Amino acid sequence: MKIDVIYEQDVLCEFVYSPLFEMFCALHVLSNPEHHIHRKKWVEKVNKQMNQDMRQDIKIYADITDEYCIIMDVCLYFEECSDLNILSSIDVLSKISIHEINKIFKVYDKKITKNQYQELLRLLRDFYTYIFESELKYIEPFITRMLKQKAKFAKEKGVFNLIQEIHERIKVHEDKIVFYKNKQYEVYKKDLKRISINVSTFVGPHLLIGIIDDFLNLTCLVETENTEKESPKDLERTLKALGDSTRLKILKAISKKGKSTQELSSLLDISEAAVSKALKLLQEGQLVTKERKGNYMIYSVNNDTIDFISYRIYEYIY
């Protein structure tokens, strides 16, 4: 699903959310959990949910698909894989000929048989149905929110300035973009016609890039380490901040547009001292942000925290 589109220097930049791609990233983490310690708690939880057959199948197809990196590339070649419904996207994969699929595998000097491919599709359906569907409902709002923020940044600062911020191993020069992986990759700006940017909560610390002719695909990494390691006290502060009618009214009042203490006092008909006290607790719960504008401090809702509350509760309880 395209979240936003920007045109800059004759380049089309799309901000794309693909649940299927995120599921491939999750399978990649399960295939090599030692490399993704920021998802350790999630891996432990999922391993308890999966039966032995599914764990074994994930390992088998990790070997065949280069830890699911090859199948990630399928999403780059077939835009239909960005459907919001993962099962629909898998149906799209089932209609692609094994000959076309092996063109992608060939880039990695690998090959998959028709029978293996059918079994892989079965695994994808089962993993989504029994494991990933419940996970997705918690991370999907967060991913789409992050994509909107990335698009806003690109509109204000420029697409190539955004690309510079995506990963420390990306360097944007006047005429080209350099990616430092197992070897150095270079893409010249003049050769680019389309850029696709997505977000993943799983692939850190990897730098994920896809280069196909004049098309560049990049994945922004959302580090969840802090969320996964947060103590119950941090979660308690967030929930405590929500447990009061005045504080809830303040959040509602600043949900569309930030406001100062004075504006909130007048709007809600309470003293500035009471507003300040409430805002302090909301800040401790990471529910509001503040920014000085002229002589006033403007308070706004921290949408990232709001979007991730249910996920944090879910992670802690289960």
Radius of gyration of the chain (CA): 22
Residue 229: predicted pLDDT = 52
Its domain, for residue 191, covers 2-225
CA–CA separation, 99 and 257 (whole Å) = 53
CATH of the domain at 242: 1.10.10.10
User: How many Å separate Cα 43 from the centre of its chain?
Assistant: 17
Co-location of 180 and 283 in the same domain: no
| 300 — pLDDT class (breaks 50, 70, 90) | very high
Residue 6: predicted pLDDT = 95
Q: Which tens digit of pLDDT belongs to each residue from 40-70? A: 889 999 999 999 999 999 999 999 999 999 9
How many structural domains is the chain composed of?
2
Q: Which tens digit of pLDDT belongs to each residue from 162-209? A: 999 998 889 999 999 999 887 889 999 999 999 999 999 998 777 889
This prediction's pTM: 0.77
Q: Which of 169, 207, 170, 218 is nearest to 11 (CA)?
A: 218
Domain boundary among 192, 210, 225: 225
Co-location of 144 and 202 in the same domain: yes
User: How many Å separate Cα 24 from the centre of its chain?
Assistant: 12
Co-location of 41 and 89 in the same domain: yes
CA–CA separation, 317 and 312 (whole Å) = 9
Q: What is the mean pLDDT of the chain?
A: 91
Asked whether the beta carbons of 19 and 33 are under 8 A apart, the reply is no
Co-location of 255 and 294 in the same domain: yes
Q: Which of 135, 149, 115, 126 is nearest to 55 (CA)?
A: 126
Domain boundary among 225, 245, 263: 225
Co-location of 179 and 253 in the same domain: no
